[in-house]
Amino acid sequence: MSADSVAAKRYAKALYEAAAQQNVVWDVEQQLKGLVEALERTPEFKAFLGSPNIETSRKISVLNEVLAGKTSDLLLRTVHILIERGRHAEIPAVYRAYEKIAGEASGQARAIVYTAKPLDEAELAAVAEQFGKLTGKTIRAEQQVDPSLIGGIRVQIGDRLYDGSLSGKLARLEKALIS
């Protein structure tokens, strides 16, 4: 199954449209992100949701207990539908598609900024501003430290990767020397 299936995009679009009507687009995105992170941190929970031996009603009941007060009813209903239809594994793909739809609608894009050492807030804001000019969108930058970069910066915005890292330059130099 594709990481970003057609079904996930449809669920994300429906969720976005409902969230936009209620004016809670950003809240739903953050809650969905939290749910995806929780699923990634706890493989037992992921296995619980995927188990064919556990009744769907039990899964939904446990989910309600875990997410009570932490997520909107809109997101909770969407997750219920995904579980009822056996599509719990699509939750991360729904998040990615939702984030993309919401970003495009608001003229924003999410950037993951990889650096060898942590950047302070001002440096991260400067990177976001620079890439905002490049893409014509407002960039929401998130930082991830990756010491293997040696130095420089690597920025991923959607499907595009901008690699100005020292390790990337060395790899390109090696490739040029070999060919």
Its pTM stands at: 0.72
pLDDT tens digits, one per residue of 135-166: 999 999 999 999 999 999 999 998 899 999 99
Identify the pLDDT of residue 1: 42
| Paired residues of 144 in beta bridges | 114
Identify the pLDDT of residue 68: 82
- Range list for CATH 1.10.520.20 in the chain: 6-103
β-pairing, 108-115 with 153-157?
antiparallel
- The half-sphere exposure of 49 on its side-chain side, counting CA atoms within 13 A, is 26
Class of CATH domain 109-178: alpha beta
Burial class (CB in 10 A: 0-12, 13-18, 19+), 48: middle
| Paired residues of 160 in beta bridges | 157
* CB-CB contact of 59 with 89 (8 Å): no
Class of CATH domain 6-103: mainly alpha
Q: Count H helices, E strands: the chain?
A: 8, 4
What mean pLDDT value characterizes the chain? 92
pLDDT tens digits, one per residue of 40-87: 999 998 899 989 999 999 999 999 998 888 899 999 999 999 999 999
- Range list for CATH 3.40.30 in the chain: 109-178
What percent of the chain lies above the pLDDT cut of 90? Answer: 84
Which H helix or E strand runs over 39? Answer: helix 25-41
Strand ranges for 17-107 from DSSP E: none
